[in-house]
Structure 1
Amino acid sequence: MCVIETSPVIETRRLTLRAPRPQDASRIARLANDIEIARMTLRMPHPFTQGHAEDFVLQVASQNPARANTFVIEHEDHGPVGVIGMFEDRDPMPETGYWIGREYWGRGYATEALEGALVWASRKWKRRALVAGHFADNPASGRVLEKAGFLYTGETRRGFSSARGGLTDTRRMVWLA
């Protein structure tokens, strides 16, 4: 019998990945209300309000953990610094995505969180592969994915970015456990 963790916690050297809590909403709203973050995602609107953050926390709480897991990325000294998620979508394998608050860019938090999430996904969530994508004009995200072991598939997809209000090219990558 497979037991599904309903609220997993992932520990890395500097970070804890955990379910978002209602008290995280104001911090999430403050960090996510940055056009430079929102424009590098498909779904995140800009401006990103307190109401969006509260809706996000509620939506995550209602996820089916067999199909999706979303975590606040919490730093031991700074508190929440971003979000990472893994979810089943239109691809045959789950997809992962993440964002880090701008004031925390360049510190390796995205890579560390992604590596921790991948270990959890393979050991506890029992996934053997994940896909990801990054916008063609966001090579920094591509480097994070490469450091975590993702490889380019050669596929580029056009997708609608809510914050950009238009289509953008997404370079697709895959990770194999």
Structure 2
Amino acid sequence: MCVIEPSPVVETRRLALRSPGAQDISRLAALANDPDVARMTLRMPHPFGLADAEAFVLGVAVQDPARARTFLIEHEDHGPVGVIGLFEDTDPAPEVGYWIARPFWGRGFATEALQGAMTWASRAWKRRALMAGHFTDNPASGRVLEKAGFLYTGEVRRGFSRARAAETATRRMVWLA
């Protein structure tokens, strides 16, 4: 039987993945209120204000830890730099999604956080596979997933992006432990 930690902290070389709290609300609102960040996600609205950040933190607090886990990505020097989450949906394996704030793009934080979350998912959550996707106009996210060991499935799925207010094509990927 798998015992689920109530609030795990996953540490990588430069990052700590931890549950977001009330102390993170203003920082999350500032980082996420960027149209170029939000438009690469399905669920994030734009604009993203304090009320959105508060609702996000409260939503994470009531997640069923057996079905979903959301981590704030915190850098040792810069503080919070993004979010990564794993959740069960309609796919046979849980899906992982993430975003990194624009000032921290291109520094390898997404790849490092993803690898930490994958290690946690396989060890603590006992998952042997994860699903992910990236919008067809976001090849940088595809490279992050490839570096972490995800492979393309060949499926392209359409989903509604709240920030774009439009249907968007997503290239689907899978990781097997």
| RMSD, aligned α-carbons | 0.5
Looking at structure 2, the residues matched to 54 and 102 of structure 1 have their Cα atoms a distance apart, in angstroms, of: 21
Q: Which residue of 2 aligns with 1:24?
A: 24
Instruction: Provide the rounded CA distance (Å) in 1 between the counterparts of 2:124 and 2:165.
Output: 37
Mapping for residues 85-164 of structure 1, pairs under 5 Å: 85-164=85-164
CA distance in 2, matches of 1:2, 1:91: 21
TM-score after normalising by structure 1: 0.99
Counterparts of 2:120 and 2:99, CA distance in 1: 18
Separation of aligned partners in 1, 2:157 and 2:103: 29
SS at 2:72 equivalent: strand
Separation (CA, whole Å) in 1 of partners of 2:66 and 2:5: 9
Superposition TM-score, scaled by structure 2 size: 0.99
For residues 164 and 141 of structure 2, what CA distance do their matches in structure 1 show?
17
* Residue aligned with 1:41, SS: coil
Q: Is it true that 1:69 corresponds to 2:73 in the alignment?
A: no
Give every structure 1 segment of 4 or more consecutive aligned residues whose post-TM-superposition deviation is greater than 6 Å.
Answer: none
Distance 1:2 1:97 in 2: 23
Q: Deviations over 1:121-171 (max 9, x none)?
A: 001100000000000000000000000000000000011101101101000
Secondary structure of the 1:16 match is: strand
Aligned: 1:5 with 2:5: yes
Shift of 1:92: 1.0
In structure 1, stretches of 5+ residues that fail to align are none
